[in-house]
Amino acid sequence: MAIYHLSVSNVSRASGSKATATLSYISGRRVHDERRGETYDYGRKERVLRVGTLLPEGAPAEYADPAVLFNAVELHETGRTARPAKKIVVALPREFTPRQRVQALEEYIRENLNADGYAATYAIHDDGRGNNPHAHILVANRQIDPATGGWARLKQRMEYVLDERGERVPLIDPETGRQKTDKRGRRQWKRTSVSLNPLDRKAKLKALRESWANTCNARLDETARIDHRSLEDQGSDLEPTIHEGYAARAIERAGGVSERCQTNREIRRSNSLLTAVRAELGRIFDRLGELFAAKIGRLRRRQARPEPAEPNWRYFEGDARRQLEADKADHTAAIRGKLMDARADVGNREEWWRSHGTEEHEAAKQIIDVARAASREARDANIFKRGRLLRNAEQVAGEQSERLRGAVPWLEDADIPADWDQANRFRMRTTKAIYDHDMQPRTRLVAELERRLEQAERAESERPSPEQVKALALRMAEQRAQAENPTQDTKRPAPSGDEPLDLSEPEDWGEASPFESRQDPRTKADLLNEIRQRTDRLTGQREAEQRQIDPWSAQPPQRRGHGR
C-alpha cells in the first residue's frame, strides 16, 4: 500500500553539514570538496538505483555534473552559518514501476524547483532488498539567474519590525530603558532579516508537499491514492504513527524488538480495529436500511391486495423434516470423507518426507553443505592457515547465501553463518522451515475440515426448527399445487422486484436441497430412491479417483551424487 512521506531539511555549515558530503552520501560516489580540500565517500552503492541532475533555464552546461554544481554553490556561499543546499526526502509508492519512479521525480523537480530557478540532483534508494523505495533530492539553495547563468545575488534583506498598529518598534537600551541612538543622534528601530528565498517560505513548503501527492496520485489507482494532509487536517481521529528511523529497523532485522517499531505496530493494530468496527457498523446500518425498506414494501403490497390463502403444508410436514435431517446427514458424511482423505494426504506426505524429501530441501542441503565444508576446513586448520581459511569461509558463506535465496526465495533467514557449529544449527533450522512450509497447506486443510465437521455434527444433533420445516413444506405444497394446476401461476401478479428477503429459508449446508429443482413433490419411495442415487454417485466418484495416478506412488526424483 502506498504511503505519503516528504521531509525538507537544511544543509547548514552551522551544524557541520556540507553539500558535497551530502551529495556523496545520496549518490554513492566519491566527491572532492574544492573549498575544504577534502574527499568524501560516504555512500552505500548497493542502495543507490539511479542518480540524475536537472537544471533550470540558463544554467551552465557543466552544472550537469552534480560534483561541479555543488562545489560551485559551496564556493559561492562564504558565511560560517551559510546554508548552501536543502535536502528533500520523499517516499516512492511501491506500486510504481522503475520507469514511473523516474518520471514522477523528474516531473516534480521540473515543475516545483527548476521552474523557480533551482538546480537539483536526485538519487533513488531502497534497502538493498527491494523494500523501502525512496528518493533524496539535493537542491542548491540559491537560484540561478537565467540572464547571466550565475547565482542570484540576494537571498535575504533587513526590514523594520512593526507592531499591531503597523508602526516601527523602537530598539530599547536595557541599561537606560530609553530608545537607542546612533553616533549622529538618530533613533534606532528593531529590524529583522527576511528571507527572499522561496524555499524558506512556509507557503512554498506546503505547495511542495501538496504537489508531490498530486504527482503520485496521477499515476496511482483510485484505491491506492495518498494524501499530503495530516490525519488532523483530514478530520480523522485515527492515531498517527511515529517515525521509526534506520536504527530501529536495523534492530528489527537483527531479530530484536525496537520500541519505536513496537509502538507503531500497536498504533496500526488499534487503527485497523477502529476501521474494521466502523466498516462493520456501516454494513449493519445498510442491512437495517434494506430490511426496513423491504418491510415497508411488504406492508404496502398487503394493503393494496388481499393476502392469498396459505396452501395446506401440514400434509408435507413429515417429509420436509426427514428431508432436512437427511440433508444434514449427507453434509456431515461428505465433510467426514474429505477429512479422512486430508489426513491420509498428511500421512502420505510425511512418509514421503522421511524417504525422499523435496527438490527445494535437496537443493538447500547441497548449498549449505558447501558452506559447511569451508567452515569445517577453517575450524580444523592450524594456526598459520586459520586466518586465510576463515576469510575464505566467510566469502563462501556469502556466495552460497545468494544461491540459497535463489533456490528457496520464500525463506526468511537465508544468511548462512561462516562458523561450523552455527552452520550446523542453520542447516537444521532450514530443514524444519522447508518441512513446515511444505506441510502447512495440508495441515491447515485438516484443521479447517475438523472445524467444519464439528459444526456439522453439532447442527446434525439439533432438530430442524419449525420455521425451516414449514418453509420447506410450503414449497413442497406449492410445487404439488403447480403440478396439479399449471395455469395457476398465470393468475398471480407479476413480481415488482422489491420483494423482501425470505429469512425463513433453511440454512445452507453446502448443497442445495433436492426439492429446489423438483417439478413434482416426492413420496417416501422417491426419497429412498434419491438416497440410493446419491450413494451410487459418491461410490462412482471415489472409484474414479482411485483409478487416477496416485502422486505418492510416482517414481521419486533421482538424487545427484554417488549411489550405493
Q: What is the pLDDT of residue 155?
A: 64
Output the CATH code of domain 6-152+200-228.
3.30.930.30
CA 241 to chain centre: 16
Distance of CA 63 to the CA centre of its chain: 39
Bridge partners of 11? 85
CB atoms inside a 10 Å sphere around CB 188: 13
Q: How far apart are CA 244 and CA 259, in angstroms?
A: 9
Indicate the length of the chain as a whole number: 564
C-alpha cell at 408: 528457496
Tell me if residue 63 falls in helix, strand or coil.
helix
The CA-to-CA distance between both ends of the chain, in Å, stands at 54
Q: Measuring CA to CA, which residue among 249, 246, 281 is closest to residue 265?
A: 249
3-state secondary structure 231-297: CCCCCCCCCCCCCCHHHHHHHHHCCCCCHHHHHHHHHHHHHHHHHHHHHHHHHHHHHHHHHHHHHHH
What was the pLDDT predicted at 561? Answer: 46
Q: At what angle do helices 317-355 and 524-547 cross, to 10 degrees?
A: 10
pLDDT of residue 267: 81
Answer yes or no: are the C-beta atoms of 312 and 460 closer than 8 Å.
no
Contacts of 163 (CB under 8 A, 6+ apart): 169
pLDDT of residue 194: 63
Q: Look up cell 501527492; give the residue.
A: 213
Nearest to 86 by CA among 154, 19, 27, 5: 19
pLDDT (tens digit per residue) in 526-551 = 666 777 777 777 776 666 655 554 44
Contact 452, 409 (CB under 8 A): no
Inter-residue long-range contacts of 549-553, CB under 8 Å, 24+ positions, other chains counted: 552/348, 552/349, 552/351, 552/352
pLDDT of residue 557: 45
Q: In whole angstroms, what is the distance from residue 110 CA to residue 106 CA?
A: 6
Q: Given the DSSP bridges, would you call strands 85-91 and 48-54 parallel, antiparallel or unpaired?
A: unpaired
- Residues sharing a CB contact under 8 Å with residue 267, sequence separation 6 or more, in sequence order: 239, 240, 241, 242
Contact 198, 204 (CB under 8 A): yes
Q: Which residues contact 243 (CB under 8 A, 6 or more apart)?
A: 260
The reported pLDDT for the residue numbered 278 is 78
If phi > 0 it is left, if psi is from -120 to 50 it is alpha, else beta; for residue 502 that is beta
Q: CA 97 to CA 221: how far, in whole Å? A: 13
Beta carbons within 8 Å of 498's beta carbon, 6+ residues apart: 293, 294, 297
Give average pLDDT by consecutive 10-residue segment, the chain, 564 residues: 83 90 91 91 82 92 93 89 91 89 92 92 87 91 88 73 84 86 84 75 88 89 74 62 73 80 82 81 86 85 66 80 88 90 88 82 88 88 86 89 88 88 89 87 90 89 87 85 67 51 41 44 63 73 56 44 42
- Sign, CA dihedral 367-369-374-378, equals positive
**pLDDT reported for residue 39:** 92
What are the sequence ranges of the domains in the chain?
6-152+200-228, 156-195, 244-292, 314-461
Q: Between the CA of residue 493 and those of 31, 204, 478, what are the distances in Å?
A: 86, 68, 16
Cα–Cα distance, 251 to 249 (Å, whole number) = 5
Report pLDDT for 537. Answer: 73
The Cα–Cα gap between 246 and 20 comes to 22
Non-local (6+) Cβ contacts of 62 within 8 A are 68
